[in-house]
Structure 1
Amino acid sequence: MKGWIDEPVVDPIVPEADRQKIIRMPVLVDGFPEPSSRTRLFFAVDGAVAGVIGAFLVGFAVQSGSQVAAILSIFSFVIAALFAGHARPGLAARMRRLYGDCCIFPADLDDNALGLIRRARKAIEIVSTSRVNRLGLLDDIANDVVLPERLWEIARLLRTQVALRAEQEEAMSEMVTPELVAVITPQREALDRSMISVTKQVVELEDYASRVQEADAALRAHELLKSNDKYRDLLARTDDAQGLQSLTEHVDMLESTLAENLRDAINAGQTLAVPGGAAAV
């Protein structure tokens, strides 16, 4: 599954223009591997050698008038430029240096963490594109401020959990001693509790999205009430007093249902704020 749902998660404090720069870079989205420091050193040395050869060929071409040397010097400089480009830190590394700890890339997470991020994003997408939201019937602060903050907090915790899990797996790949087990066991329990907590946050987002969908459905039904006059006229013409009474009762019930669904959706959105601004792992 690719597309917006696999974009990097960016801290809401990052300006929108910079956020767009981050998410529009396919190298970051796809999580291509970064070149190692040894690989970059190899390209740097080869680039310098190619540059020296190019400079020598330029001098030789000027003295001898050789066109072949001139052409070879151009190729040498092109190769030197290419090698110099590969010697630079990768795009993801440069972006991390530029934005610090303000973005989390798919490559930073494992499959389980990515699954939770996708679920959270899907729920937020449902809320954002709902009719009740577009009509301004929900809590604007919850949707515009709290939802991005909740997504960022979930991603931040998941990245920490993935790093700690990798640390534990590396430790357990070595000789397992009673002392190591004594250290790892409570750490794993803490990690499991943290994972349960993050999963609960995702479920809360999904519950909010479900309530918004219910409000959307009630709103669509409410809009169909505009056609009730035609049905009242039809029932009146057939002298169906009982049908008219039933239709009126359903109108009153639907009005109440819409109000209740909207109230439930707003209340669900207002409970999503991250306590204290951040959660602990």
Structure 2
Amino acid sequence: MKDDTKSSELVVPRLTINPDLPAATQEMLRAAKPSDLRNPDPAGRDGIWSDLAVPLRWETAIVCACAITFFNSAGPDSPFRGLLWPAVGIGATWLVLMTSIPVAGHLMTRSRLRRIQEVRELYVLDADLVPAAGQLLARAGHAVAAVRRSKVHRDDYLDRQRNDVVLPEKEWEIAEMLRAYSRVERSTPTKATGDEARPVLDAHQAVLQTALGGIERRVTALETYAEQTAEADRRYAELLQIQQISAAGAELLELLARSVRDDLAVAEIDGLTNQATTVADAFKAALAEARESARALAAPTAA
């Protein structure tokens, strides 16, 4: 069980997306407004006629009336005489353009909302989760991010390609289960209305806690993997540092040979080599533990 104080400091992710969705759809979801993600209902938006009426405001009518009056009142020698109908044509063109812009935007918005509505079950919002579920998802996301930031992952000591596929899948599975749990918890009464209902409610809540405990075991498995990856990272950093020191072994041997016997110098270099071997063995062991944890993490999927 993880420290509740630590987990309470984590920020619940605003949006968790099914990794199987096309990349374009995922980008659309990330760029969408929170209100559109919460309620992607195209039917609830203003109709297209409201967009058509945008340029048809009273200010437009006043401008058109003033223009017509100006051209009609122009004298016979005025250069503006006879320009009424060309001006009307220009005004009509402007009106069509000003109308088409909001209409096109409206149609694009409705199309985007329809797509979001189609995939509503394929993403989870922070608002979909009760507090306990939100914290579990935050812990899972934190563990996944820690693994993918690690140097042993980036340098492909932990099968980076597999991690890049499996870890988002695990995070999504947890998010989906936590959303289902949250829906049931929100629909469950917090207090029994009578003696007959109390044992039924208690049993229901016990099952809920069992379900949440099962999800938390998945989160803990991810956190264990992240911890073992961090240990492998530390061993890897030690190994690189000792290799860097050992790389200067020839110069060090020459330096030592000037001041002490050759056999003592060789012994010193051998000591550095043994240290490098020890750290390398520890690094290999840490990697083996991390890989074993990754295999255990994939076991529920295989089942």
**TM score, norm. by length of structure 1:** 0.71
Paired residue secondary structure (1:178): coil
Deviation track 1:213-259 (CA, whole Å, cap 9, x = no partner) reads 11111111111112224365355555456644533321221111111
Question: Matches of 2:213 and 2:17 in 1, distance apart?
Answer: 23
Task: Please tell me whether the aligned partners of residues 154 and 160 of structure 2 are also in contact (alpha carbons under 8 angstroms).
Answer: no
How many residues matched? 253
Partner residue of 2:87? none
Pair 1:97-2:97 in alignment:
no
1:9 to 5, 16, 29: 16
Pair 1:207-2:227 in alignment:
no
2:140 to 120, 124, 127: 120
Q: Percent identity?
A: 24
What is the identity, as a one-letter code, of the residue corresponding to 1:144? Answer: D
Task: Please tell me whether the aligned partners of residues 104 and 155 of structure 1 are also in contact (alpha carbons under 8 angstroms).
Answer: yes
Q: Which runs of 5+ in 2 are unaligned?
A: 1-7, 68-94
Task: Please tell me whether the aligned partners of residues 239 and 283 of structure 2 are also in contact (alpha carbons under 8 angstroms).
Answer: yes
Task: Please tell me whether the aligned partners of residues 29 and 37 of structure 2 are also in contact (alpha carbons under 8 angstroms).
Answer: no
Matches within 5 A, 1:182-261: 182-224=199-241, 225-230=243-248, 232-233=252-253, 236-239=257-260, 240=264, 243-261=268-286
Q: Which runs of 5+ in 1 are unaligned?
A: 69-73
CA spacing shift, 1:184–1:5, aligned 2, 3 Å: closer
Deviation track 1:101-145 (CA, whole Å, cap 9, x = no partner) reads 111111111222222212111111111121111111113454122
Paired residue secondary structure (1:250): helix
CA spacing shift, 1:9–1:164, aligned 2, 3 Å: same
**How well do the aligned residues superpose, as a CA RMSD in angstroms?**
4.3
Task: Please tell me whether the aligned partners of residues 12 and 135 of structure 2 are also in contact (alpha carbons under 8 angstroms).
Answer: no
Question: Matches of 2:273 and 2:300 in 1, distance apart?
Answer: 45
Pair 1:181-2:198 in alignment:
yes
Q: Give, in angstroms, the shift of residue 152 of structure 1.
A: 0.8
Task: Please tell me whether the aligned partners of residues 208 and 269 of structure 1 are also in contact (alpha carbons under 8 angstroms).
Answer: yes
Partner residue of 1:71? none
Partner residue of 2:156? 136
Question: Matches of 1:31 and 1:181 in 2, distance apart?
Answer: 40
CA spacing shift, 1:35–1:98, aligned 2, 3 Å: closer
Task: Please tell me whether the aligned partners of residues 12 and 126 of structure 2 are also in contact (alpha carbons under 8 angstroms).
Answer: no
CA spacing shift, 1:10–1:277, aligned 2, 3 Å: farther
What is the identity, as a one-letter code, of the residue corresponding to 2:181? Answer: Q
1:24 to 8, 27, 31: 31
Question: Matches of 1:112 and 1:104 in 2, distance apart?
Answer: 15
**TM score, norm. by length of structure 2:** 0.66
CA spacing shift, 1:270–1:238, aligned 2, 3 Å: farther
Question: Matches of 1:103 and 1:215 in 2, distance apart?
Answer: 33
